[in-house]
Amino acid sequence: MIVDYSLGQPGSVHDAYAFRGTRIFQDPTSCLPPRHWIWADSAYPSEMWCAVPFKRLCGGSLTCRQNIYNRYVSKICVRVEHAFAALKGRFQSLHELWLKVTKDEDLHVAIYWIMCCMILHNMITYFVSNRSDEVEESTSWAIREVEGWDENVVDEIREERTGTHGQRFRGLLMERLFEQCGIRV
């Protein structure tokens, strides 16, 4: 399901720039329930509410554990690309919205058209998901990992002194992944 979006930037803009226009970026606590977060690619900020893969530093390399974590995160993030493909597959008009944008009114028509398609996409996704309880095993750890978490875990992340809150949170997620999947490295 599409839970947040940013529309109105005509032309091609970087994902991270468009992300700044979303409600989640501006006020994550108003959009995300406690102990929930979004999965994003490495262009996004590493926050307690935004889990991103590890980046290779210039001239450096990632550890084996970081590479494994990144592969699991990519399996989750690819679902976003699948959602866009499903949205465009259901609504062929979104492939190339043949609307000349010469004034604000034209841009508003395009925005409303896209919003309508997203709403219908979410309705279809909701109705289909209620008929199927299957969860792909390769990403089920991401759904289960919040089980058993309490405020003590969040407090521990905030109290630790190395790295940002987001970096410490990502490290905790990596440890939970290895624990739940029984990965030994």
Q: Is 104 inside a domain boundary?
A: yes
- Mean pLDDT, residues 1-27 taken together: 83
Per the model's pLDDT, the better-predicted residue between 18 and 54 turns out to be 54
* Residue that wins the pLDDT comparison between 33 and 129: 33
Q: Which domain holds residue 65?
A: 15-132+161-181
Residue 99 within a domain: yes
Q: How many residues does the chain have?
A: 185
pLDDT at residue 71, rounded to an integer: 92
Residue 154 lies in a domain: no
| Residue 50: pLDDT over 60 | yes
pLDDT tens column, 72-129? 999 888 888 888 888 989 998 887 777 777 788 888 888 888 899 999 998 988 888 7
Q: How many domains does the chain have?
A: 1
- Angle at 71 (CA atoms; ends 70, 77), nearest 5 degrees: 80
The Cβ-side half-sphere exposure at 149, using a 13 Å CA radius, reads 17
Domain presence at residue 82: yes
115, part of any domain: yes
CA 26, CA 22: separation in Å to the nearest integer?
Answer: 6
Residue 165 lies in a domain: yes
Tell me the average pLDDT of the chain. 81
Percent of the chain at pLDDT > 90 equals 17
| 126 domain-assigned | yes
Please indicate, yes or no, if residue 79 is contained in any of the structural domains.
yes
pLDDT, position 27: 92
Residue 149 has pLDDT above 80, yes or no: no
